[in-house]
Amino acid sequence: MAEPAITDEELPVIARFEVRRRSYLAPDGTILRRLPQFASDTSALLSLYRGMVLTRAFDTKAVSLQRTGRLGTYAVSLGQEAVSIGIASAMREEDVLLPSYRDNAALLWRGVKMEETLLYWGGDERGNHWSGPAHDFPFCIPVGSHAPHAAGVGYAFVLRKQPRVAVCLFGEGATSKGDVWEAMNFAGIYKLPVVFVANNNQWAISVPLKLQTASETLAQKAIAAGFIGEQVDGNDVIAMRAAAEEAIVEARAGKGPRFIEAVTYRLGDHTTADDAGRYRPPEEVQAHWKEEPIARLRSYLVSQNAWGKVEEERLAAECQQLIEVAIERYLATSPRPPETIFDHLYAELPAAYAAQRRELKDASHG
């Protein structure tokens, strides 16, 4: 082998990059570093806590509805509640949320009613005609394919000079797709007000992170697109909220996109149609239960004398009550007439399909 003409030491380094990691609360709820400004307001923390607890209670009920044949396939966010809640809590009403199928919590936070979410997962499109922000996108099911929409939304804000931000959530598996890269690349070029959030829960159904990427972090993928990527402890809702707030404020101020890698763990199955026991050792899951976000924030709140057993019981009862009312409303919603599947196909039903609508109406009404 011939000696190389130049050794590596002689080649100049032309760029260096770094990725920061944000966390405030240790898994036991103790403080790792000075908390962000908003955390001095206990009511803000209690509100985040309530959002996570409600989400978990709702997920639990949704799964039992599915198991008893009263709901379709459903994706819980068990263990990842801090991601959706932290992000949504930093958004304004006029911002646009582009959620993945696991972001029920973000939608609930933004005003979508639980019965509407149930209606969608129960197999009725009307669940997406919701009481939440009319401009928010519905759940994206084809993984990562909504990232280009976020860039398009961000572009519209820039064109119209509106101080609004598009926030796009997806899982770590989505970062393997060209869609996400193409969107990030474009957002970087035009400095669009878009915040990309990867919920890195370590598992894309049965495929672990190490088979998705050889990257040390997902956050560094933003560097290639020309903007900041930050890794955040996704089980620390204070960190999630702070990271989202900073990213959204910067984006709103015209400083371009941000990428947040929320490192968390999927404590549950991928969906109700999955059995994670087939591909994941129970010890791994058990170990991650020690880091989950709700117990962590509770420990902190208890240590601040801001929370206790009475409050916990009261909150649990309140959540149950809200969920039960929502389930009643969901179950009481009659199916829409079959021929209405034509009604939102186009703004106005083309003449060619009016006959098909009649055909379905006649067939379905006997």
Partner 1 sequence: MAEVTLVEAVNLALARAMSDDPSVVVLGEDVGVNGGVFRATVGLQQRFGPQRVVDAPLAELLISGLCVGMAAQGLRPVGEIQFMGFIYPCIDQLVNHASRLRNRTQGRLSCPMVLRTPHGGGIRAPEHHSESTEVMLAHIPGLRVVIPSSPERAYGLLLAAIRDPDPVVFLEPTRIYRAAKGQVDDDGEALPLDVAFVLREGQDVTLISWGAMVRETLTAADELADDGIRAEVIDLATLKPYDENTVLASVQKTGRCVIVHEAARTGGFGAEVAALIAERGLTSLLAPVVRVTGYDTVMPLPRLEQHYIPSVSRITAAARRVCQFS
Residues annotated as catalytic (active site), given as ranges: 266, 270, 279
Q: Which pair of tokens denotes residue 35?
A: 């908390």
Check residue 146 for interaction with partner 1 (CB under 8 A).
yes
Helix (H, G, I), strand (E, B) or coil at 125: helix
Number of residues counted as binding partner 1 (CB under 8 A)? 45
Check residue 330 for interaction with partner 1 (CB under 8 A).
no
Q: Which pair of tokens denotes residue 222?
A: 């933003």
**Strand ranges in the chain using DSSP code E only, listed in sequence order:** 20-22, 96-98, 166-171, 194-200, 203-204, 207-208, 228-233, 258-263
Enumerate residues 85-104 that contact partner 1 by CB under 8 A.
96
Binding span for partner 1 by CB under 8 A among 51-59, 67-75, 181-189, 300-308: 181-189
Binding span for partner 1 by CB under 8 A among 143-151, 255-263, 292-300, 311-319: 143-151
Check residue 248 for interaction with partner 1 (CB under 8 A).
no
CB 327 within 8 A of CB 61: yes
Check residue 159 for interaction with partner 1 (CB under 8 A).
yes
Supply the minimum distance, in Å, between the C-beta of residue 134 and partner 1.
Answer: 6
What's the half-sphere exposure (Cβ side, CA atoms, 13 Å) at 57? 22
Options 4, 69, 282, 350; binder of partner 1; rule CB under 8 A? 350
Q: Which pair of tokens denotes residue 130?
A: 């919701």
Supply the minimum distance, in Å, between the C-beta of residue 178 and partner 1.
Answer: 6
Q: Which is nearer to partner 1, 52 or 225 (CB)?
A: 225
Q: Which is nearer to partner 1, 27 or 138 (CB)?
A: 138
Dist CA 358 CA 339 (whole Å): 7
Options 278, 282, 346, 365; binder of partner 1; rule CB under 8 A? 346
Supply the minimum distance, in Å, between the C-beta of residue 99 and partner 1.
Answer: 13
Q: What is the 3-state secondary structure (H, E, C) of 32-51?
A: CCCCCHHHHCHHHHHHHHHH
CB 303 within 8 A of CB 29: yes
Check residue 290 for interaction with partner 1 (CB under 8 A).
no
Options 148, 234, 256, 257; binder of partner 1; rule CB under 8 A? 148
Dist CA 92 CA 85 (whole Å): 13
Dist CA 238 CA 299 (whole Å): 13
Options 308, 345, 358, 359; binder of partner 1; rule CB under 8 A? 345
- Residues in Cβ contact with 50 at an 8 Å cutoff, skipping those fewer than 6 apart: 315
Check residue 134 for interaction with partner 1 (CB under 8 A).
yes
Check residue 255 for interaction with partner 1 (CB under 8 A).
no
Q: Which spans in 190-308 are helix H?
A: 221-224, 237-252, 282-289, 293-303
Binding span for partner 1 by CB under 8 A among 199-207, 278-286, 288-296, 348-356: 348-356
Supply the minimum distance, in Å, between the C-beta of residue 24 and partner 1.
Answer: 33
Nearest to 245 by CA among 130, 111, 88: 88
Q: Which pair of tokens denotes residue 242?
A: 């702070």
Supply the minimum distance, in Å, between the C-beta of residue 116 and partner 1.
Answer: 11
Check residue 352 for interaction with partner 1 (CB under 8 A).
yes
Q: Which is nearer to partner 1, 163 or 208 (CB)?
A: 163
Binding span for partner 1 by CB under 8 A among 46-54, 183-191, 203-211, 214-222: 183-191
Angle at 94 between CA 43 and CA 245, to 5 degrees: 50
Helix (H, G, I), strand (E, B) or coil at 211: helix
CB 254 within 8 A of CB 248: no
Supply the minimum distance, in Å, between the C-beta of residue 154 and partner 1.
Answer: 8
167 phi, psi to nearest 5 deg: -120, 120
Binding span for partner 1 by CB under 8 A among 37-45, 141-149, 259-267, 326-334: 141-149
Check residue 185 for interaction with partner 1 (CB under 8 A).
yes
In the complex, the residues that contact partner 1 under the rule CB under 8 A are: 96, 125-126, 128-130, 134-135, 137-138, 141-142, 145-159, 166, 178-179, 182-183, 185-186, 189, 341, 343-347, 350-353
